[in-house]
């Protein structure tokens, strides 16, 4: 069943790519664009020789990029140059505007600017997001606020379906809804990386996978989907983050990933209630081994909220680990038992390495190290709480004071994390 599901999804993504390539008026996806240094995202004190032509800026030394300062200009640049570098040079208020971008395989650098008040929905019966389908794309330094996306299949705040993409320093705040796959940032993530990014708001729907960050994560046949140094949060610890499907059947829902195989998830946290059916977890709804033997990895992560499964009384970071035969890893995983009170947790052999922790334990103390500062996260005095080979560290975590929860450093703005 896993082979068939993966094959069907691959066929659907390939069909989507072909259809959207026509919308974008390109003949071929081509190879990934040449990447530039992550630090070179401002145009001050840069020189380009020869000088950049009309519609371009000097983006890095001797590297020109298409520039956009309006929504229509951004759409034109992305559609006409889907394999090149596009830089956003101003904040955009998209209130009342119409938006649909089918395909992109270049670099979109938001230059730390914000697109606010954008509403978009599926118009082709496949996926929806700021970008419907992307592959080998780099998207970074971009903020989306008061975003509303809906669709008839896959919905992601940033990208509907993303293959081998690099997403970094992205903020998405808003409300999303979709019936099949849904993720606060990406609906379907195959390979690629998602780092130093966050979603804030509510995702609703997702009969096959609903996640605060990613609806479905999988390898791309070569590399794992890697999600690190990211968070997803609702308005507060008791508000809804993920409202997954609860009708008859199995509907995976997770605070970070709805369902996944061939994935690496580490140094993440989720805040808010998660609802689903049959496979509902604070961080991952359903985890399984890839049909080709790729593992799933989940470690150094925290959930603060309440899991409600309409089929099972459930608590904890993982709803169901339906296959642990591959080289999987679960370590240093914590959930707030004051919020998530059910006594049932995912039952696998070997079991998921998760710790039921009180709110006081999660805040006092937090920094790993000696018994005086180790707390539950890493205590040299307690052999049941080992540091492991990859402990929770600062950075990327910010431990705060002895009355604060852990949050993550180096997040894009607005970035108001709940402590």
In whole angstroms, give the CA distance from residue 241 to residue 263.
21
In whole angstroms, give the CA distance from residue 258 to residue 158.
16
State CA 286 to chain mean position distance: 16
This prediction has a pTM of 0.89
Angle at 228 between CA 225 and CA 409, to 5 degrees: 160
Q: Which residue has the higher pLDDT, 389 or 337?
A: 337
pLDDT of 63 reads: 95
Q: Which residue has the higher pLDDT, 289 or 142?
A: 142
pLDDT greater than 50 at residue 23: no
Match 């808003």 to its residue by tokens: 174
Angle at 129 between CA 304 and CA 226, to 5 degrees: 50
pLDDT of 118 reads: 96
183 confidence band (pLDDT: 50, 70, 90): very high
Least confident of 99-108, 341-350, 407-416: 341-350
Taking 3-state DSSP, the helix, strand and coil percentages for the chain, each rounded to the nearest 5, stand at: 10, 40, 50
Q: How far is CA 36 from CA 48, 109, 170, 328, in A?
A: 14, 11, 18, 34
pLDDT of 396 reads: 93
Percent of the chain with pLDDT over 70: 83
DSSP of 376-387: TT-BTT-TTS--
In whole angstroms, give the CA distance from residue 283 to residue 256.
5
pLDDT of 86 reads: 98
For 92-103, b/e burial (b = at least 16 CB within 10 A) is bebeebebebbb
412 touches 198 (CB < 8 A) = yes
Q: How far is CA 76 from CA 72, 125, 215, 368, in A?
A: 6, 23, 29, 49
For 235-288, what is each residue's pLDDT tens digit?
999 999 999 999 988 999 999 999 999 999 999 999 999 999 989 999 999 999
Percent of the chain with pLDDT over 90: 63
């Amino acid at each position: 069943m896993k082979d068939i599901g993966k094959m069907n999804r691959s066929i659907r993504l390939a069909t989507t790519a072909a259809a959207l390539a026509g919308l974008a008026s390109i003949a071929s996806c081509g190879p990934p664009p040449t990447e530039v240094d992550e630090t070179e995202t401002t145009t001050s004190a840069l020189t380009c020789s020869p000088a950049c032509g009309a519609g371009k800026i000097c983006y890095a030394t001797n590297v020109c990029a298409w520039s956009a300062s309006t929504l229509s200009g951004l759409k034109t640049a992305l559609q006409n140059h889907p394999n090149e570098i596009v830089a956003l040079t101003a904040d955009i208020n998209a209130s009342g505007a119409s938006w649909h971008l089918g395909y992109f395989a270049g670099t979109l650098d938001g230059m730390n600017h914000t697109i606010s008040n954008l509403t978009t929905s599926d118009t082709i019966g496949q996926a929806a997001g700021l970008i419907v389908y992307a592959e080998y794309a780099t998207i970074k330094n971009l903020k989306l606020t008061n975003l509303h996306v809906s669709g008839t299949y896959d919905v992601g705040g940033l990208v509907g379906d993303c293959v081998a993409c690099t997403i970094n320093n992205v903020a998405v705040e808003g409300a999303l809804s979709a019936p099949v796959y849904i993720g606060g940032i990406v609906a379907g993530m195959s390979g690629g990386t998602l780092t130093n990014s966050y979603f804030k708001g509510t995702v609703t729907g997702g009969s096959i996978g609903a996640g605060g960050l990613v609806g479905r994560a999988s390898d791309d046949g070569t590399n794992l989907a890697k999600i690190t140094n990211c968070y997803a949060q609702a308005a507060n610890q008791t508000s809804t983050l993920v409202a997954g499907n609860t009708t008859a059947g199995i509907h995976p829902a997770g605070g970070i990933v709805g369902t996944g195989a061939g994935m690496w998830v580490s140094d993440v946290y989720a805040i808010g209630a998660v609802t689903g059916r049959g496979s509902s977890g604070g961080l991952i709804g359903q985890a399984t081994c890839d049909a080709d033997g790729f593992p799933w990895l989940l470690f150094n992560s925290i959930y603060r909220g309440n899991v409600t499964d309409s089929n099972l009384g459930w608590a904890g970071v993982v709803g169901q680990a339906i296959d642990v035969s591959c080289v999987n890893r679960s370590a240093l995983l914590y959930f707030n038992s004051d919020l998530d009170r059910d006594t049932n947790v995912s039952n696998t052999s070997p079991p998921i390495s998760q710790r039921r922790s009180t709110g006081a334990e999660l805040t006092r103390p937090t920094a790993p190290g000696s018994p005086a500062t180790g707390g539950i996260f890493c205590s040299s005095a307690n052999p049941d709480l080992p540091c492991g080979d990859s402990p929770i560290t600062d950075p990327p975590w910010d431990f705060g004071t002895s009355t604060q929860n852990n949050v993550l450093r180096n997040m894009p703005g607005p970035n108001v994390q709940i402590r």
